[in-house]
Structure 1
Amino acid sequence: MKAAVYKSYGSPEVMEIRDVDKPFIKDEDRVLIKVVSASVNQYDNLFRKGYFPTRIENGLIKPKVQILGIDVSGTVEAIGKNVQKFKVGDHVFGSCSGSHAEYVCPKQSVITIMPNNSTFEEAAAIPCAAQTALQALRDVGKVKAGDKVLIYGASGGVGHFAVQLAVYLGAEVTAVCSTLNMEWVKNLGAHHVIDYTEEDFARNGKKYDVILDAVGKRTFFSCLRSLTENGIYITEHALYPKYHPIQLMIGSVIGSKKAKIHLAKPNDADLVLLRVLMEKEKLRPVIEKYFPLHEIVEAHRHIESGRTKGKVVLTIG
């Protein structure tokens, strides 16, 4: 099969399309999927560059896992003996390592049936970013109806899902983004939108029960004055550890305001909820650009710019 492979860490140019062995079902709870579409995430960018924390997991000198991708949508081609939730021909989506390839073989516990009103591209845009936003707000922030929630980086992959999911949870949502993105972010349901090029939310005197930094560009310290007495600051960028140890220490032992670092835990229960929200038109992915697999270098260049509006998607099948 064809796959986007990187044999060494570095710039987007280390990526190339190669012929590799097609995966096969080794474990009885796995599903073989013919990939139709996959997302490109900042996660992929950081692993490809060999950012130090990723090397601890993926090899200090060169990558052990050489096919990137963590989101997938496609068609079930074969199932393991213990798989009962899926049949050959089902259209599925979910989380899967190595999805920048023509086939993947994930566990059945991290995929589910696609929304009946989505394309393969839309389905592939959902898993990682939307699960990250959902778990951060619901599980870490404990967001409930009436809470005031601020999303910093509201036009990005995680951020634009977080705006919609915070609204779904009943919060009063303030979205922070650039001038060019204000209108479409407001159309996602945000009650208030702040242009960060014109105003620093941390200086306007308003307070929030939860501040979700979806792009890793604010610190707990810079948000302290904007948190309510028992407010929580959450960052989604645990791979950027410059301030995190200090933030966690201070946020866990000093005062009632808390700092939390969150990484998504893929699971089919949350995917089912996201599917239902899609089908009820309570959630929708915004896809900025589509790239065919053979333009993987261009896709990584775009992600590396840090200016993505919503999601970037690969079309593979």
Structure 2
Amino acid sequence: MRAVGVKDYGATPELLDLPKPAAGPGQVLVRVEAAGVNPVDLAIAAGAFGRPPLPLILGVDFAGRVENVGSGVTRYSPGDPVFGRAAGTYAEYVVVDETGPVVAAPDAVELKTAAALPTAGMTALGILDAAEVRGGESLLLIGAAGGVGTFLTQLAAARDARVLAVTRGDERVRLGLFGAAVTVDATTQDVARQVRDEQYPQGVDVLVDLVSADPEAFEANKSMVHDGGVAVSTRGATREHGKVQSGVEELAFVVRPSAELLTALAKEVDGGSLRVFVEAEVPLAEAAGAVARVAGGGARGKTIVKP
């Protein structure tokens, strides 16, 4: 089986030839149609989230068809189209637990396209639920141009929230198509002035900061939220950890993958509330370069790897 991974933690990813895995009891063997690329993939390969046995295959998102199933499996049969999360998806095959984060793929997109959904889509959907975003509210989204940002913009707009999307570069047309009411280019415009002076002098209802790892930068962005509002960080930049000392509730969001979230995500896609924009599709042999680019913060939308 061809796969892309590392032979040592932090090493440069390379194309590997590994044994084809087999489904054990309660498990499903999936022939991978495509794997989604995420910024976290390189951190996992560096051992930042534990040190599983080497060689370590990259990737956590996948879409494909069930090849065969282990004993006791009742939910899936060979040929079923599925998508979800698993360890080591930059490969021709991946094994997943039947009860894990894997569900039937949405019908409204090509199967390979569904590989772009799991991590970014579940993160976007989970943030909206955690922040309890409602219709009529204003949502300031820092880092709107990437995978999570484009999904979050669409899902929030579908809930009738007013999205102020902050990007690096002119993304007005693309983000506007995804439902953003206003798009601010942080490289040429003063974000705080645009929000406070032009849009919401009293502050926005919700901040979602997908970019700031520095607590001071997050704090500066949080100043654009009115008292009683909510500020969400996906980069661990919160200081108050839910305590409303500043008048703004802080949420340190970490996605918890589940079949329930994936099912809700597929319903959003099939219902027309969520479109999947794939920026690039690369062959397995070029996966190492693709993940380096995405980890460097240069992505617009999602990249998928085709075995």
Query: What is the TM-score with the length of structure 1 in the denominator?
Result: 0.87
Superposition CA RMSD, Å: 2.0
After TM superposition, list the pairs within 5 Å mapping 1:250-289 onto structure 2: 252=243, 254-289=245-280
In the other structure, the counterpart of 2:131 is 141
**C-alpha deviation, 1:34, in angstroms:** 0.5
Tell me, yes or no, if structure 1 residue 58 matches structure 2 residue 46.
Answer: no
Which 5+ residue runs of structure 1 have no aligned equivalent?
239-243
Q: Identify which range, 255-264 or 290-299, moves more after superposition.
A: 255-264
Secondary structure of residue in 2 paired with 1:302: helix
Secondary structure of residue in 1 paired with 2:223: helix
Q: Identify which range, 197-206 or 185-194, moves more after superposition.
A: 197-206
Instruction: Report Cα offsets for 1:198-236 as digits up to 9, x if no partner.
Output: 223233413222111123367331123211211221122
- Checking the alignment, whether the CA contact within 8 Å between 1:75 and 1:92 is kept in structure 2 is yes
Letter in 2 for 1:310: G
Greater share of residues in helix: 1
- Checking the alignment, whether the CA contact within 8 Å between 1:45 and 1:303 is kept in structure 2 is no
Distance 1:31 1:150, change over 3 A: same
Q: Identify which range, 203-212 or 288-297, moves more after superposition.
A: 203-212
Letter in 2 for 1:213: D
Which 5+ residue runs of structure 2 have no aligned equivalent?
none
In the other structure, the counterpart of 2:34 is 37
- Checking the alignment, whether the CA contact within 8 Å between 1:177 and 1:196 is kept in structure 2 is yes
In the other structure, the counterpart of 2:189 is 199
- Checking the alignment, whether the CA contact within 8 Å between 2:131 and 2:206 is kept in structure 1 is yes
**C-alpha deviation, 1:311, in angstroms:** 0.5
Letter in 2 for 1:7: K
**Partner Cα distance (1:8, 1:79) in 2:** 31
Distance 1:252 1:220, change over 3 A: farther
**Partner Cα distance (1:199, 1:232) in 2:** 24
Tell me, yes or no, if structure 1 residue 300 matches structure 2 residue 291.
Answer: yes
**Partner Cα distance (2:139, 2:170) in 1:** 22
**C-alpha deviation, 1:66, in angstroms:** 0.8
Distance 1:253 1:201, change over 3 A: same
Instruction: Report Cα offsets for 1:37-63 as digits up to 9, x if no partner.
Output: 001100102223x3xxx535237xxx7
In the other structure, the counterpart of 2:225 is 227
- The number of residue pairs the alignment matches comes to 298
Instruction: Report Cα offsets for 1:232-266 as digits up to 9, x if no partner.
Output: 2112224xxxxx3xx33375262331222212111
In the other structure, the counterpart of 1:241 is none
Counterpart pick for 1:25 among 23, 26, 30:
23
Tell me, yes or no, if structure 1 residue 209 matches structure 2 residue 205.
Answer: yes
Letter in 1 for 2:164: T
Counterpart pick for 1:93 among 83, 89, 100:
83
Secondary structure of residue in 2 paired with 1:167: helix
- Checking the alignment, whether the CA contact within 8 Å between 1:73 and 1:120 is kept in structure 2 is yes
- Checking the alignment, whether the CA contact within 8 Å between 2:4 and 2:90 is kept in structure 1 is yes
Letter in 2 for 1:127: P
Distance 1:233 1:304, change over 3 A: same
Instruction: Report Cα offsets for 1:64-116 as digits up to 9, x if no partner.
Output: 57111110000101123333222110111111111011111112231111111
In the other structure, the counterpart of 2:107 is 116
Distance 1:129 1:229, change over 3 A: same
**C-alpha deviation, 1:279, in angstroms:** 1.5
**Partner Cα distance (1:290, 1:314) in 2:** 6
Letter in 2 for 1:169: R
- Checking the alignment, whether the CA contact within 8 Å between 2:32 and 2:63 is kept in structure 1 is yes
